[in-house]
Structure 1
């Protein structure tokens, strides 16, 4: 299966360079190239989600970082391609899957794509079945079966996640965004911040922006996630005034 991508860069020569690298790399196909974020989003709204968005950071109107949250909804992996090192921390702050510095080398690019393909494979192996997930262990062909009904919350740990259940916890190599997508078919799991997903089954109390879960530390709902979270609470409230 080929990975799909789009490129967003307002510098024509930089966009062409990236297109050439993609064309020379096995296992990936670039669908379209855009010189601004708005055009790319309009296209993806019609085309649907792609595997990877390669996006420049310094662009007119909407820069890549400001558009990070929107772009993340349109792809599985957001990779920034820029000539500036100083944006790295901000890039990972918007859940970017990678940060490549211009000028790009073929070897660096191929290594990044191979890493993405490995993450896709791990995600597929941890695919949610009816009522449970399979979390890959540290050894080859090692998996732990986790009943979704027992998951209390999940927290991000750099390139890993820690899955806390009513009985134990498990650490597996996958991103929180991947887990969120996998849990998308299961009701009752809600992302409340950049680093935490909770199970509403174990939510006991909400006090302002602080959530109290059974047998778990208190969590604060992140500002970006508050409107969706409180809309969910309202839908389940017996008093909606």
Structure 2
């Protein structure tokens, strides 16, 4: 089992770092080959340069992007770990996927996902709790983005878990959160691909586009 962890937090004392350490250790203890992508320490360039966009036609990728694409192809599953900022993943994490999952690599020009059968398990931390998160539709905002990002590119499982009020909960609650994170990523080993499924309908809509139902072709 090959797993890539994409990690997006600038502070090594954060709870996200605790999740990273716990999850990577757990995956390795269960026999997975793990590659960690700490986007801050990598100094991954989040800016979409003209040549990056041109690669949708030329397939000439920067060395940085080529390396990340090779590791995505290597992975059976991707784990993402990040805080929720303004109802979204950090911009530099979104930029990572914008550049790496570019048209021609992750999906073709007809909309067919090229990363078929892969799985993603995402862990997000929040600074506040319900009812605010639910009422402000922050869960929905994350689910929609993850469904589009991974559903469109062919992933078979798109699983997401949230940890609320991280800065203010007790240490005991944080320990419980870490235990829940272990249980969450254990699904990579304990559940078959396709058993978890996807949030939303992006994969279905993509199929309809390809068949022409949504663009007037038929």
Which bracket does the TM-score occupy, shorter chain normalised?
A: 0.3 to 0.5
TM-score normalised according to structure 1 size: 0.43
Give 1 or 2: higher strand fraction: 1
Give 1 or 2: higher helix fraction: 2
Whose relative contact order is higher, 1 or 2, with alpha carbons under 8 Å and at least 6 apart?
2
TM-score normalised according to structure 2 size: 0.47
